[in-house]
Structure 1
Amino acid sequence: MPGFAIINGIAEISDPAIYQNWLDNEEFKSAVAADSSPERTAVKRLLIEFEADMARMVRDDKVQEQVVEVMTRYAAEDYVQHDPNAPGNGLENLIEHFRHVPATGVVPPPVVGVILDGEVACLMMREVVPDPVVAGEAYEWNILTLFRVHNGKLAEHWSTFRKAVPGQNPLGD
């Protein structure tokens, strides 16, 4: 039993270990990326691997050493950024933005679904977090982000973040 099931294109995780091992769990990533054509599967896999590589940098405290390599592998030179906390457009600004991502030692949440419409893709990541209303309980928080993929590279990104004071959480926590 793999510890997850794909239901309506979204991974439903039943084994909590997947939240920790998803980065290197080929069965999980392949299942989430699976689609009706090799081209669509390749785009989904590109996005999943991008998120996994970024997650590894954060988890392993390797952002400074690997950010240029990772961003150059995945993002276009003329990358367009729609995040009010980012310093602007272009690959160099993207690299500079991620130089300031704090290394936490924690595995960021897994990609549980990718919805494609032409060049635009919506990624859903899921994290189990403490319930702020019911003491001692937890709930699944779904985090959405959008990308445009063009010619095999991330060309544009839309964020759900609010503008934040530098160093503060843009999710408002």
Structure 2
Amino acid sequence: MSGFSIVNGIAEITDPAIYENWLDNEEFKAAVAADSSPERNAVKRLLIDFEADLARMVRDDRVQEQVVEVMTKYAAWDYVQHDPNAAGNGLEKLIEHFRNVPVVGEVSPPVVSVILDGEVACLMMRKPVPDPVVPDTTYEWNILTVFRVHNGKLAEHWSTFRKAVPGRDPLGD
């Protein structure tokens, strides 16, 4: 594996370029999704591909052109949303929510682990960010999000976001 290794089910990134190229790095995505069960591998890959397509859409400032296609591909029509910043439940509300997401033009953090328990999956993404305590250093910020996958579609989502002012980044950046 080039620029990363999988340690205890978590991708440990040694090549900083992966933070930028993970969206199209098939070796990286396949390694993170790897599982001895083909069914579990498929669910992990669905979640990783969703995050990659979502990140690519935002990075490329193509939300308005691609949001319906991306959300329809991955989310169930009766999608349940537990993000306090979202417009509500259902596929149409999910699309509406993403039409209003602030586009920042940077690559979202890579998915470094997917933990499955039945239909529920926890994704961990990781991003090096400036350390506010130790000047001129960074630390690894781990971002967790949880989905329920049912019949090959995202059926429900819980996030760790705090409620934010509309149009502002709920991550606080």
TM range (shorter): over 0.9
Contact 2:116–2:122 (8 Å) recurs in 1: yes
Contact 1:120–1:146 (8 Å) recurs in 2: yes
1:20 and 2:20 correspond:
yes
- Once the two structures are TM-superposed, the CA of residue 32 in structure 1 deviates from its matched residue by 0.1
1:152-173 deviations in whole A, cap 9, x for unaligned? 0000000101111212332345
SS in 2 for 1:80: strand
What is the correspondence of 1:94-133 to structure 2 with a 5 Å cutoff? 94-133=94-133
Distance (whole Å) between structure 1 residues aligned to residue 44 and residue 70 of structure 2:
17
Contact 1:109–1:126 (8 Å) recurs in 2: yes
Distance (whole Å) between structure 1 residues aligned to residue 77 and residue 51 of structure 2:
18
Distance (whole Å) between structure 2 residues aligned to residue 46 and residue 15 of structure 1:
25
Distance (whole Å) between structure 2 residues aligned to residue 170 and residue 87 of structure 1:
14
User: Structure 1: which 5+ runs fail to align?
Assistant: none
Percent identity over the alignment is: 83
User: Structure 1 runs of 4+ off > 6 angstroms?
Assistant: none
Contact 1:6–1:12 (8 Å) recurs in 2: yes
| Counterpart for residue 67 of structure 1 | 67
- Once the two structures are TM-superposed, the CA of residue 102 in structure 1 deviates from its matched residue by 1.9
| Counterpart for residue 50 of structure 1 | 50
User: Structure 2: which 5+ runs fail to align?
Assistant: none
Equivalenced residue count is 173
SS in 2 for 1:148: strand
| Counterpart for residue 29 of structure 2 | 29
Whichever residue aligns with residue 4 of structure 2, its letter is F
Whichever residue aligns with residue 66 of structure 2, its letter is Q
Contact 1:57–1:103 (8 Å) recurs in 2: no
Contact 2:72–2:91 (8 Å) recurs in 1: yes
- Once the two structures are TM-superposed, the CA of residue 36 in structure 1 deviates from its matched residue by 1.7
Distance (whole Å) between structure 1 residues aligned to residue 164 and residue 56 of structure 2:
25
Whichever residue aligns with residue 67 of structure 1, its letter is V
- Once the two structures are TM-superposed, the CA of residue 46 in structure 1 deviates from its matched residue by 0.1
TM-score by length of 1: 0.98
| Counterpart for residue 167 of structure 1 | 167
| Counterpart for residue 144 of structure 1 | 144
Distance (whole Å) between structure 2 residues aligned to residue 97 and residue 80 of structure 1:
13
Distance (whole Å) between structure 2 residues aligned to residue 66 and residue 94 of structure 1:
13
1:80 and 2:56 correspond:
no
TM-score by length of 2: 0.98
SS in 1 for 2:73: helix
Distance (whole Å) between structure 2 residues aligned to residue 158 and residue 168 of structure 1:
19
Distance (whole Å) between structure 1 residues aligned to residue 168 and residue 58 of structure 2:
17
